[in-house]
Each structure stands twice: as structure tokens, then as C-alpha cells.
Amino acid sequence: MSTVAAHRSVAVRQYFLITGNYWAFTLTDGALRMLVVLHFHQLGYTPLQVALLFLFYEVFGVITNLVGGWLGARIGLNRTMNIGLALQVVALGMLTVPAVALTVPWVMAAQALSGIAKDLNKMSAKSSIKLLVPGDQPGALYRWVAALTGSKNALKGIGFFLGGALLTAFGFRAAIAGMAIALLMVWVASLILLQRDLGKARNKPKFRDLFSKSRAINLLSAARLFLFGARDVWFVVALPVFLATALGWSDWAVGAFLASWVIGYGIVQSLAPYFTGRRSSRVPDGRSAFAWAAALAIAPATMAVLLGYAVDATLVLVVGLAIFGVLFAINSSLHSYLIVSYANEDGVSLDVGFYYMANALGRLLGTVLSGAVFQAGGLVPCLWIAAMFVALAALISLALPKHGPAAALPESRPESGD
């Protein structure tokens, strides 16, 4: 019994260390995105040009998730997480050069490194949870994944606010330098404290094992692609530029508003288990994924209709974003549980990496469309595309596995110590 308790204590400590690494990284990542969007918009870049600054961030995110899962299974998730932290420090350092050196290719290269870093860090964190929770406790796994994902997104929202505030208070270069120094200290601590060989597969995977052979994971990955494409097609570039130009909001106000949305979204993600199965003592399945995606598709379509009829844009966006945020957070958290649940424990990062490759591909598609469609037609077409993408995610989810009557939460009774 004492051995079990000791193992649990180690697992909990590692969970909090992984979460702390993920938090620190996410804070800088959110702030960096807001800094780049607002700073280069101030310099006169068009929405499409701003979107293209993130092109390599998303492209290399696709590649990193695919290769990173294989790498994590071979060398261990502790090493891939630390590599991600180190690369983010380098990427931030690249943006501290004098303003005349901040050319588009240079910024795109820095964003490429940041994209690699972000997805190595995220893949490592999400994969690690599978190994720290006993396999016979799906309810506990769902709550741990939801807590990690939700807290990360709340910190990302704080990062958005931080980015806008730092840009206003200190300027672009000083803000970036401060974040680089803080993250460097986190990286050193992680090198010392993170468990060795976490997630290293017993059987070394071959490079051909990069692509998932599981139908469930392939379907979930396709649904994830359209889900995140739907968010980013209007949220990444179109929305902040619309708030700044059409509604005349200040940089600080844009950053604070988007930050509040992401923080609320993260809180809802953490509570997702209570919305999607706690009361009925069930963990989510394919039916849950379809139902929540179908509900989400209504939100951007309704916003597009209201804006088309010239209803007050501020009211539509504030209320619409709140509804979209709650539903999107539940969808995202539900997906995050399903991928960890479906993944094979030996070499878990392979399956998780493939899934997040699709996630990154959706962000890439959404980011490019966000700049191009907004520049061509404004915010309303972006919202219609978002509604269409979510509808596709819902249709794909119909084919996901469904639980039988016995697939109840074993932790539905009161627990101690989870």
C-alpha cells in the first residue's frame, strides 16, 4: 500500500511540474501572439500580411506534431518538453533585434521556431498524463486532462492580456526580452526536476509508425482539424483587427477582451467533465462529440445572420463570443479526453502527436483564411465558414466509437485523493 501511495505521490508531483512548464510556456505564447498581431498591425500591415507572419508557426506545428510524437516515443517526453522550452527562448531572443532587422522573413523564421516549440511542449504535456493516471480510471483521466487543458487556456488568455499591456507599457522589444529571461529560468528548473525517460516506448517505433493506424484516432483527428479551423478562421486575425478598426478599440482593450474570453474558455474546459458526463456517470463518446459540435455550429451562424442584419456589432460579438466560448471549450476538452483515451499506452505520443498534427493543420487553415477572407469580405464570411467547419466536425463525429451501456464512470462515487 505504501508503494502505491509513493507511486501516486511521484505521479502527482510530476503532473504539477508538467503543468507548470505548460503554464509558463503558454503564458509567453499567448503574449507573443498578441504582441505580433498588434505591433505589426500598427506598422501598417494588412490583415492577410499579419496572418502570413504566423504561416510558418502553423506549418511547422503540423510537422512537429507528426515527427514530435515519434521523437517523444524514442527519447522520452521529458526531453521533448525541454527541447520545446529551449526553442521558445531562442524564438523570443530572435525578436529582440533592433526594429530595422525585424523583416518579414526574420519574424516568420522566429514564428517557425515558436511553432515547433509550442507543439513539442503541448504534445509532451498531453501525452504524459496518459502515463501518470492508472488505466482503470477513465473518469480521473478525463478530469486530469480537462484540468491541464483548461488551466493552459486560462493562462493563454492572461498571456493575451499581458501582450497588449506590455506593448502599451514597454514597447515590443523590451516586452519580448523580459519574457525570454523568465522562460529561460523555467527551462533550467525543468532540466533539473522533470522525470527521466517519461513516455519512452518499450519498443522503439519506426519512422513509418508516424501515421495512425487507428480508425477512431483518424476520425477524431479529422473532426479536430475542422473544429480548430472553425475557431481560428475568425478569431486569430479577423476579430482583433475588426475590433481595432471597425469598432475603434485600443490595443489594450482588444488584448483585455480577447484575454477575458480565453480565460473564461479555459475555466469552462476545466469544468467540462461536469457538463459532459458527470451527472449521468458516463465518460464521453462519439455521440457526445456529435451533440456538442452540432450545438456549437449554431453560434457562429447566428452571429453572421445578426451582423448581416446590422444588429449592433459590439452586442453581437460580446454575447456571441461568450456562447461560442462555452460550447467550444466543452468540445475541445471532450476531444482532448477522447484522444488520450484512444491512444495506445506504449508510445502514447505517437497517437497524440498525429492528432495534434491535425489540430495544427486546422489552425493553419483557419489562420490563412482568417486574413484572406476578412480582407476580401469582412467578418461575416469568416463566421459562415466557421459554422460550416463545425458542422463538418459534427458529421465526422457521428462515426466515432460509442460506449455500450456498461461504460460508466468508475469514479462516480465519492473519491479520496484524486
Lowest average pLDDT, out of 53-62, 110-119, 154-163, 404-413, goes to: 404-413
Of the options 2.60.120.650, 1.20.1250.20, 3.40.50.300, 1.10.10.10, the CATH number for the domain spanning 2-195+211-397: 1.20.1250.20
Q: Does residue 226 or residue 259 have the better pLDDT?
A: 226
Residues 12 and 195 sit within 8 Å (Cβ to Cβ):
no
Lowest average pLDDT, out of 89-103, 147-161, 356-370, goes to: 147-161
Lowest average pLDDT, out of 144-148, 189-193, 270-274, 387-391, goes to: 144-148
Lowest average pLDDT, out of 189-193, 339-343, 360-364, goes to: 339-343
Q: What pLDDT is recorded for position 413?
A: 30
Is a pLDDT exceeding 60 seen at residue 159?
yes
Element spanning 64, H or E: helix 55-75
Max mean pLDDT among 160-169, 195-204, 260-269, 322-331 falls in 322-331
Cα gap 5→15, rounded to integer Å = 15
Mean pLDDT of the chain: 80
Q: What pLDDT is recorded for position 154?
A: 76
Q: What pLDDT is recorded for position 351?
A: 73
Q: What pLDDT is recorded for position 136?
A: 55
Q: What pLDDT is recorded for position 125?
A: 73
Is a pLDDT exceeding 70 seen at residue 390?
yes
Q: What pLDDT is recorded for position 208?
A: 57
Lowest average pLDDT, out of 89-103, 105-119, 305-319, 403-417, goes to: 403-417
* Mean pLDDT in residue range 201-213: 56
Residues 74 and 204 sit within 8 Å (Cβ to Cβ):
yes
Which runs of consecutive H residues, i.e. helices, occur in 95-214?
104-132, 138-170, 172-193
Q: What is the biggest distance separating any 2 CA atoms in the chain, rounded to whole angstroms?
A: 66
Q: What pLDDT is recorded for position 10?
A: 63
* Mean pLDDT in residue range 295-313: 94
* Mean pLDDT in residue range 206-234: 81
**Residue 281 pLDDT level (bands cut at 50, 70, 90):** low
Residues 218 and 209 sit within 8 Å (Cβ to Cβ):
no
- For 377-387, the pLDDT digits (tens) are 999 999 999 99
Q: What pLDDT is recorded for position 404?
A: 45
Residues 408 and 278 sit within 8 Å (Cβ to Cβ):
no
Q: Does residue 4 or residue 129 have the better pLDDT?
A: 129
Contacts of 297 (CB under 8 A, 6+ apart): 387, 390, 391, 394
Is a pLDDT exceeding 90 seen at residue 227?
yes
Please compute, for residue 281, the number of CA atoms within 13 A of its CA located in the half-sphere on the CB side: 10
User: Could you write out the three-class secondary structure of 84-96?
Assistant: HHHHHHHHHHHCC
Cα gap 325→264, rounded to integer Å = 8
Lowest average pLDDT, out of 53-57, 105-109, 148-152, goes to: 148-152
* Mean pLDDT in residue range 287-311: 93
**Residue 225 pLDDT level (bands cut at 50, 70, 90):** very high
With the CA atoms of 76, 81, 86 and 87 taken in that order, what torsion angle do they form, in degrees rounded to the nearest 10? 100
Is a pLDDT exceeding 80 seen at residue 315?
yes
Q: What pLDDT is recorded for position 366?
A: 92
Percent of the residues in the chain that have a pLDDT greater than 70, as a whole number = 79
